[in-house]
Structure 1
Amino acid sequence: MKKVLLAAAIATISLNAAQAAPTLYGKLNVSLNQVDNVNATGNNETQLNSNASRIGVKGEEKLTENVGVVYLAEFGFATDGSGSDAEWSARNRFLGLKFNKVGTLKAGKYDSYFKTSAGKYQDIFNDDTNLDITKTMYGEERLNNVIGFETDKNLLIPGLQFNFQAQTGESSSTDPKAGETGDDNKRDSLDSFSTSLTYENKDIGLATGIAGNFGVQGAYNALDGKKYYSDAIRVTGSLDLTPAGAEGLVFGALYQQAEPTDDVVAYKDLKEKAWLVSGTYSIPSTPWAVKAQYQSAKTDWANNDRKIDQYGLGVDYNFNKQARFYGVVAQQKRDWYVDNDKKTVFGLGMEYNF
């Protein structure tokens, strides 16, 4: 009897340990790229790129019948040994509480809800060093010092989710490039917000959302990446035509507007309007997929205007859900350059998820 009880106790301890154990995950994405007209210099360059490669741990554990703890810590690193992630860098990380059938409260550093409103079919080259929409438009920010809440997707209407994120004032910067909002550029606590309302219905293949940034610092590519506290709105959507009989065919779109907040000193009349359209076709009963995306951003201020246009074409060969080979070709044009206004990229790469 004692042996039976001992075995049961050991099994219980093992089960609890398994439930509490974090999950190790990550992604390695390496590509060999030929880039013509690097940084509008007219020079060509062969690059080995680590496209947002990362590793992290995450987990969830019950505290009570209706409350659990959730956590995630993610680090970026450069597989090629160069760039901003040459050493470990901070990506998403948070600690939070999950309330059963209500939602999740999180605190830490993680992607703005404005950014995440663009799903995988509205930014199909996400993480690519050269093709990501970060290269054209405002709003692709990961925010420090934030508190956020995400409702359960079945709280009111199945598939509907509301997300809200507030950033503390300690994230303010005195660097004029980073804000230019007054004498010392400091912000009050909790006056930067990012929100989104998303809806997904897999039965009809629809995913859509609307997102807003209010006083969130972000980069403008037309101003050489200068960052300003800005207000912005983004509308996204994708339609999977598989339920309609066109298996594997998905279209996506995004539109947004952004402008600096009223307290920004420089570029008070600055406005950026950006959009994209995309298409992905996963060829049925094969490991092949083809995809294309066109994105554009126009920035106006003080009788000046600058426009960035970019297209990208890609072919994927998916071994399984974890591994794929891919090829890309892309071109970006910046219309304010007199010479060398086009950058062209050719690339071959491999991605492995674990």
Structure 2
Amino acid sequence: MKFISKLSLSLLAISVSAASFADPITVYGKANISAQAADEGAGSFTEIKSNASRFGVKGDLKLDNDMEVLYTFEWQVDLADESGSDNIKARNQYVGLKGSFGTVLLGRNDTVLKQSQGKIDQFSDYEADIKGLWKGENRMGDSVTYISPTANGFSLGLTYVAEDDVAGDDSQSISLTYGDKALKKDKWFASVAADFDMKGYDSQRFSVQGKFDQLTLGAILHRQESVETGSSKNGVMMSAAYTIGKLVLKGQYQTLEDDNSATIGADYKLGKSTKAFIWYTDRGLDKSEDKSWLALGLEHKF
């Protein structure tokens, strides 16, 4: 595995060097690491944890007929991993075309249902990430993603996942979004989305988020059903963030039937691309022991 990691890094370096002579590329990433005190039912312990730290390259190039080719190659890096173990794994990696017809991407990508949450999850990549309770947070290979042009603020998204197996079944994801996920161009963002037989589940979501001066509020209604058993569960998530200068106070509450997760936290901006953060998550589970985490950490983006 060490050899594969070194080979991946070597290929990346060669690709970056070659591409730099052909078309503009962007190298980007973030390092997010925290010191955590955890109680996961079986006992308490402390750890240093890398929270989906990543690096990648992306770019686009103008083609004929007013089209663009675009690509992204992204990897996750575990900054707290033990020396000698494989600490690199693939994230979104795709190539596609963009034009008046919209955008088509082929490769490994988040489904449009996963993307439909926008920035509502205030604790994404931490223990309180909504994937801790809900199905539907899928990144799929063998996939084709289509994003339509925006019309009156609305955009349609489709994900098709090929079966890649004689005994497998194709999967689909669909979304309709309105507004700007980052809440920079619009003060509102909303979406409806559904998965069909995605990793054994059908899922539906309705999401909405609004910005009111320093206050940002968001909510998601969620339903998931096992394709095999037909059993279904419902959940809701509410989030809030309030900005005071360089400080952002955050809170979030999520349910799935009798399971729930409550989180409070704060980010403090140390610079344009760097922040310190603290958060506490308490998760109450109906059929297993409750869990809790307290974290203090640092994030730097580049």
Q: Residue 127 of structure 1 aligns with which residue?
A: 125
Q: Residue 168 of structure 1 aligns with which residue?
A: 162
Partners of 2:233 and 2:143 in 1: CA distance: 25
The CA deviation at 1:269 is: 3.2
The CA deviation at 1:204 is: 5.8
Aligned length: 280
1:108 aligns with 2:87: no
Q: Residue 27 of structure 1 aligns with which residue?
A: 30
Instruction: Return closer, same or farther for 1:19/1:254 CA change in 2, 3 Å cut-off.
Output: farther
1:240 aligns with 2:228: no
Normalising by the residue count of structure 1, what TM-score does the alignment of the two structures yield? 0.75
Q: Residue 11 of structure 1 aligns with which residue?
A: none
Q: Residue 196 of structure 2 aligns with which residue?
A: 214
Partners of 2:57 and 2:293 in 1: CA distance: 33
1:270 aligns with 2:231: yes
**One-letter identity of the residue aligned with 2:116:** S
**One-letter identity of the residue aligned with 1:136:** L
Q: Residue 217 of structure 2 aligns with which residue?
A: 251
The CA deviation at 1:22 is: 1.5
**One-letter identity of the residue aligned with 1:214:** F
Partners of 2:56 and 2:263 in 1: CA distance: 29
1:70 aligns with 2:50: no
**Mapped contact 1:167–1:193 kept (Cα < 8 A):** yes
Partners of 1:56 and 1:328 in 2: CA distance: 27
Query: Where has structure 1 moved over 4 Å in runs of 4 or more?
Result: 16-19, 201-204
Partners of 1:89 and 1:230 in 2: CA distance: 25
Identity over the aligned pairs, expressed in percent?
28
Cα-to-partner distance string for 1:231-263 (whole Å, 9 max, x where unaligned):
11110010101xxxxx210100001111122xx
Question: What aligned pairs does 1:118-197 form with structure 2 within 5 A after superposition?
Answer: 118-120=117-119, 122-128=120-126, 130-153=127-150, 156-157=151-152, 159-170=153-164, 186-188=167-169, 191-197=170-176
Partners of 1:248 and 1:82 in 2: CA distance: 41
**Mapped contact 2:179–2:186 kept (Cα < 8 A):** no
**Mapped contact 1:77–1:86 kept (Cα < 8 A):** no
**One-letter identity of the residue aligned with 1:288:** L
Partners of 1:352 and 1:195 in 2: CA distance: 33
**Mapped contact 2:203–2:223 kept (Cα < 8 A):** yes
Q: Residue 308 of structure 1 aligns with which residue?
A: 259
Partners of 1:280 and 1:19 in 2: CA distance: 42
Partners of 1:345 and 1:52 in 2: CA distance: 17
Between structure 1 and structure 2, the one with the greater Rg is 1
Report the secondary structure of 1:292's partner residue. strand
**Mapped contact 1:26–1:353 kept (Cα < 8 A):** yes
Cα-to-partner distance string for 1:175-196 (whole Å, 9 max, x where unaligned):
xxxxxxxxx8x224xx200111
Report the secondary structure of 2:135's partner residue. coil
Partners of 2:246 and 2:292 in 1: CA distance: 27
Indicate the RMSD between aligned Cα atoms, in angstroms: 2.0
1:231 aligns with 2:197: no
Cα-to-partner distance string for 1:52-109 (whole Å, 9 max, x where unaligned):
01110000001114111000000011000159x942201000010111x431111000
Q: Residue 179 of structure 2 aligns with which residue?
A: 200
**One-letter identity of the residue aligned with 1:274:** G
**One-letter identity of the residue aligned with 1:73:** F
Instruction: Return closer, same or farther for 1:92/1:17 CA change in 2, 3 Å cut-off.
Output: closer
Partners of 1:119 and 1:82 in 2: CA distance: 33
Partners of 2:64 and 2:231 in 1: CA distance: 50
Cα-to-partner distance string for 1:271-306 (whole Å, 9 max, x where unaligned):
1211100100011xx1001000000112xxxxxxxx
Partners of 1:143 and 1:18 in 2: CA distance: 31
Q: Residue 353 of structure 1 aligns with which residue?
A: 301
Gaps of 5+ in 2: 1-18
Q: Residue 297 of structure 1 aligns with which residue?
A: 256
**One-letter identity of the residue aligned with 1:200:** G
